[in-house]
Structure 1
Amino acid sequence: MDPVIVVGAGPVGLTLALALAAQEVPSVVLDESGGEDERRAARTVVLRPDTAALAARLGCTTLGDEGARWDGWRLMRRKQPVRRLPLSVEGFPSPLHIAQHALSRGLREAIGKTSLVKVVTNSRLDSLEQDRGGVTAHIKGPGTAYWRGSHLVGCDGARSTVRKLLGVRFPGRTAVERYAVAALRAELPWPREAVLHRQPPWRTGGDEVAARPLPGGVWRLDWLLPARGDLVTPDALVTRVREALAGWCGQTPPYELLDTGVHTLHHRLAQRWRVDRAFLAGDAAHLLGAAGTQGLDEGIRDVDNLAWKLALAWHHGATETLLASYQAERRTAVAARLRAADQSLPILRGGGGLRGLLPGSAGGRDTLLADGHLGQGPLGAPPTYPNSPLAAEHGQGAAAVGTAVGAPVADVRVTTPDGTAGRLRDRLGRGRLLVVLVAPGTAVWDRRHWLKAGVMPRLAAAVEELPADAELLVTEGYPGASAHNVLLVRPDGHLVAAFGGVHPQELRAAADAARGGAPSGAAASAGDRTANVN
């Protein structure tokens, strides 16, 4: 069978290729560049725990070497500290801050270790054609004039050629926020803590300035600018740097300025994320970033959602319901994120009217800012898909656990029937449903006994009869769950259903719903062919 064509070799496109390879699906990545990413110290990304874990699971080794996890989050207003939140503790996991070129390099290195991904450099998409059997991508470049694929995914950024060729509109708001940025090496008073300073007292502070640490004593500083203001000259940026450092340290300490820039944030949402066999992901599908939201985070979540569905289609065929669920789930989730940011901005930026004068409003603004920057609440938490087309019907055996249906499951410790122990998150992304039995005591029982005891034999037989590939796991405990509860989890870690015991028929129906129903015979047989990307 033909490989999946990925257009664009940024972090989203590279992550998608690796996620497909992890599920034994070949891909061809069309890279306009020569295969190297521009080194910009001031161009950094913040990954939430779920997206950082996905990149690590796919083999990106630069996260630990060149990324920084913050020990704390500090909020200041004028001359006073307002709030300090320790991170890396339960309930407040630490984001990962890394230069984008370092992330891309780590992803490229991981791709170099698999034979299932072919990166074609200096290849610019010129046109594409679709038919019932696949997609043909015509390119301009020194090599092959076209590539044939089973599906095509446009991960080619805000000016996406794929989106334009598909005729998809990209409405939204222009210049929602604008920032001046500097990367520098200096010693600041809060090592390993991210700082947001509102209304700083020095002349060039503006309304807001943030400092985020990177490894090696490097910091990224961001100044909020008027959305449509004057150009920021290099001299003006140096003045901002010196006054900010002096304001925080008492006097301007020695520093090394590494990089500067100005960037403008837009909020846009593609009207369609799928046209037949072609899909959009990342900045090609959405732009966001105001109030601390992270566009790359959402792009990687697009990948996590789409990869297992394309893998299922590639190996076994897929229904229209399964393929359509990508747009239904992800576009709805990103639209909610954009809506939350747009509703928060008038409050955060002083345009909230009487709401800004109400008692406790300052604390509310502080919470909103922390949510966006730390990945909590409507502005930053991982998405849920409660109204997914893949949702299972609520049967008599359904049970409530600490995770809502459609939400990401908790990362508990699990054991496989062969005795291998690990984290639930490490079993994700392999193209299989996960069936998790809550069985207190299994950690101390001899495996030979618990495999044949209680509900385990009946559950193992039920898992063998499921209409999709599934892996059986056991856990000592799960938040809000009782003994013998059974959880059905999608390959991207979202809960399909939970049951109070073993209910084979309901488990089977839920698994069938999670795969979008049974594919037609023609679609199912399409995955039996052998792929070749060489």
Structure 2
Amino acid sequence: MPHAPVLIVGAGPTGLVLALWLTRQGVPVRIIDKAAGPGTASRAMAVQARTLELYRQLDLADAVVASGHTIPAIHLWTTGQRRATLSFGSAGQDLTPYAFLLVYPQDQHERLLVARLQALGVGVEWRTECLGFEDQGERIVAQLRLPDGSEQACAAPYLAGCDGARSVVRHQIGAGFPGGTYDKIFYVADVDARGPAATNGQAHIALDHADFAAWLPYDNQGRGRLIGVVGDERAQRAESLAFDDVGHSAIASVGLQVRAVHWFSTYRVHHRVTDHYRRGRAFLVGDAAHVHSPAGGQGMNTGIGDAINLAWKLAAVLQHGAPDALLDSYEAERRAFALKLVETTDRLFSFVTADGSFADFMRTRIAPLLVPLASGAGAVREYAFRMVSQTMISYHDGPLAAGQAGAVRSGDRLPWVRTADNHGPLADIAWQVHVYGDAPGELAAWCTSQGIALHRFPFGPAHEAVGLARGAAYLLRPDSYVACADPQARCAVLQAYLERHLGAGTRRS
């Protein structure tokens, strides 16, 4: 019977990133997908700063940025007037090396990930479908349909369902998918357009009476993605609609003139989070675990975050002898974030698409007064950037959090120091310790005994500004979140943390 430590069902961005992270950590994988090959539609477009930071650990960030289009700002329009601008550069330049929104069509994104995985010696098995599986306690045995129509059993210690909103894996484990479906219907269109808004390389969101449109450019030449809402009177025949059938008032209000439509589709938006991310040896990842409105471009990035969170924990168990209980923290950390995300995007989506004269009044009269005031405040701009870029994600309340040093708490993403680029060492996907300032002599010996790299940085005003404490020890997880923070850099504290969560005598690298 074919065997792989991790069987990955689904080769979209989530499944591919999970395969890449596991492979980089030395865990063999088998990745299958019932499709004939990578996607051919642009679908998810936005790649957020936090995803690029994690891609940097895979040596992928530069290639993704070079292939995509960087958007430095988003402009908000109502009734034909520009009301506010969120500049990513001014809001995020001290937070991340990637202070912009990146537009990178999903079909191109998938092809790049597939190529990188092939370069590591792992090929996606296309036209291979998971029909079901049995969790036998010590392993999972999955039944696969191969490209020639024959069936094959495959054994694996763990299975990851990255197979989308209609997940076979989710149905198999009996996990619920509570939530609902919005009444509104969205449309998406890849177009060529002209006008100042089409060629300045920036994003535009327009709110008009009973209409909404968002423009995400692919370049500075007028190629881009339009997203909007289908009017209620047309929603009943959404499947037969063409671009000419949907409302264009919001599009016209920003001066966009559509010259050609290359792709057009409509779809309903769901908001759901599964009640179980794990059942025995099977896990749900990405859209198999959560779906929500496209507000903020969060969906694909959240799936990629799921994959990386799960990958290092699977590697710790399979490669380094960590207890299976470590894998329970995957659901605890990622489901909590998904619930917050669905709540946030639900509120934003409902505000943008609500019907009625009061809703129109709030969107076109009140919002234009409040948004410029809010966006003019530096703290508000930074908060908005942190939220959209996913650099705000933390696991403070998760089961792996322990300690605080300075303003940095365990569960935080390691703050980036612009003048020192302390994220550079994170390219080594492994546990490591960072100290900013002088480190106790015994700490280096302890790190050596544990197989953990120790990185020392001179302490200065830039480190203090981001909340790091002089002389403290920050034990970092392989996904660059702070596992344990100790102001006195005590080896005993770090040792106790590792033994509690990874097990006594567990190898760290």
CA distance in 2, matches of 1:134, 1:371: 49
1:13 aligns with 2:15: yes
Q: CA distance change for structure 1 residues 410 and 399 in 2, over 3 Å: closer, same or farther? A: closer
Aligned ranges 1:385-424 → 2 under 5 Å: 385-392=395-402, 394=403, 399-401=405-407, 403-412=408-417, 423-424=421-422
Cα contact 1:62–1:103 (8 A) shared by 2: no
Q: Secondary structure at the match of 1:156?
A: coil
1:49 aligns with 2:55: no
1:197 aligns with 2:206: yes
> Which residue of structure 1 aligns with residue 96 of structure 2?
none
The one-letter amino acid of 1:384's match is S
Q: CA distance change for structure 1 residues 346 and 258 in 2, over 3 Å: closer, same or farther? A: closer
Cα contact 1:319–1:518 (8 A) shared by 2: no
Q: What TM-score results when the alignment is normalised by the length of structure 1?
A: 0.81
Deviation at 1:37, TM superposition (A): 2.4
Query: Aligned to 2:454, which of 472, 480, 500?
Result: 472
Aligned ranges 1:292-331 → 2 under 5 Å: 292-331=296-335
The one-letter amino acid of 1:63's match is V
1:486 aligns with 2:473: yes
Deviation at 1:91, TM superposition (A): 2.4
Deviations 1:360-407 (A, max 9, x none): 765666869x99997543895542111211122x4xxx5323x33212
Deviations 1:275-319 (A, max 9, x none): 111100001011012533521111011011100000001112232
> Which residue of structure 1 aligns with residue 160 of structure 2?
153
The one-letter amino acid of 1:509's match is A
The one-letter amino acid of 2:160's match is V
Cα contact 2:208–2:249 (8 A) shared by 1: no
Q: CA distance change for structure 1 residues 472 and 21 in 2, over 3 Å: closer, same or farther? A: same
CA distance in 2, matches of 1:309, 1:364: 44
Deviation at 1:135, TM superposition (A): 1.6
Aligned ranges 1:335-346 → 2 under 5 Å: 335-346=339-350
> Which residue of structure 1 aligns with residue 486 of structure 2?
499
CA distance in 1, matches of 2:329, 2:125: 30
Cα contact 2:394–2:413 (8 A) shared by 1: yes
Q: CA distance change for structure 1 residues 389 and 432 in 2, over 3 Å: closer, same or farther? A: same
Deviation at 1:63, TM superposition (A): 1.8
Deviations 1:173-196 (A, max 9, x none): 113642111111233313111000
Q: CA distance change for structure 1 residues 72 and 431 in 2, over 3 Å: closer, same or farther? A: closer
Cα contact 1:304–1:429 (8 A) shared by 2: no
Cα contact 2:206–2:253 (8 A) shared by 1: no
Deviation at 1:140, TM superposition (A): 0.9
Q: Secondary structure at the match of 2:189?
A: strand
Q: CA distance change for structure 1 residues 177 and 52 in 2, over 3 Å: closer, same or farther? A: farther
1:510 aligns with 2:497: yes
Cα contact 1:373–1:380 (8 A) shared by 2: no
Cα contact 2:56–2:427 (8 A) shared by 1: no
Deviation at 1:264, TM superposition (A): 1.7
> Which residue of structure 2 aligns with residue 259 of structure 1?
263
Query: Aligned to 1:207, which of 211, 224, 232?
Result: 211
Q: CA distance change for structure 1 residues 413 and 341 in 2, over 3 Å: closer, same or farther? A: closer
1:461 aligns with 2:448: no
Structure 1, 376-385 or 405-414: larger mean CA deviation: 376-385
> Which residue of structure 2 aligns with residue 279 of structure 1?
283
> Which residue of structure 1 aligns with residue 433 of structure 2?
435
Identity across matched positions, percent:
27
Q: CA distance change for structure 1 residues 484 and 381 in 2, over 3 Å: closer, same or farther? A: closer
CA distance in 2, matches of 1:388, 1:230: 44
1:132 aligns with 2:137: yes
The one-letter amino acid of 1:390's match is L
Structure 2 gaps, min length 5 = 94-98
Q: CA distance change for structure 1 residues 29 and 213 in 2, over 3 Å: closer, same or farther? A: same
Deviations 1:461-492 (A, max 9, x none): 122344xx522112234322243122111111
Q: What TM-score results when the alignment is normalised by the length of structure 2?
A: 0.84
Q: CA distance change for structure 1 residues 501 and 360 in 2, over 3 Å: closer, same or farther? A: farther
Q: CA distance change for structure 1 residues 90 and 290 in 2, over 3 Å: closer, same or farther? A: closer
1:40 aligns with 2:41: yes
Cα contact 1:291–1:372 (8 A) shared by 2: no
CA distance in 1, matches of 2:446, 2:383: 43
The one-letter amino acid of 1:263's match is Y
Q: CA distance change for structure 1 residues 269 and 239 in 2, over 3 Å: closer, same or farther? A: closer
Q: CA distance change for structure 1 residues 32 and 381 in 2, over 3 Å: closer, same or farther? A: same
Cα contact 1:429–1:492 (8 A) shared by 2: no
Q: Secondary structure at the match of 1:82?
A: strand
CA distance in 2, matches of 1:120, 1:322: 29
Give the paired residue count.
483
The one-letter amino acid of 1:79's match is G
Cα contact 2:206–2:254 (8 A) shared by 1: no
CA distance in 2, matches of 1:343, 1:112: 41
CA distance in 2, matches of 1:407, 1:232: 43
Q: CA distance change for structure 1 residues 248 and 76 in 2, over 3 Å: closer, same or farther? A: closer
Structure 1 gaps, min length 5 = 201-205, 415-421, 440-453, 529-534
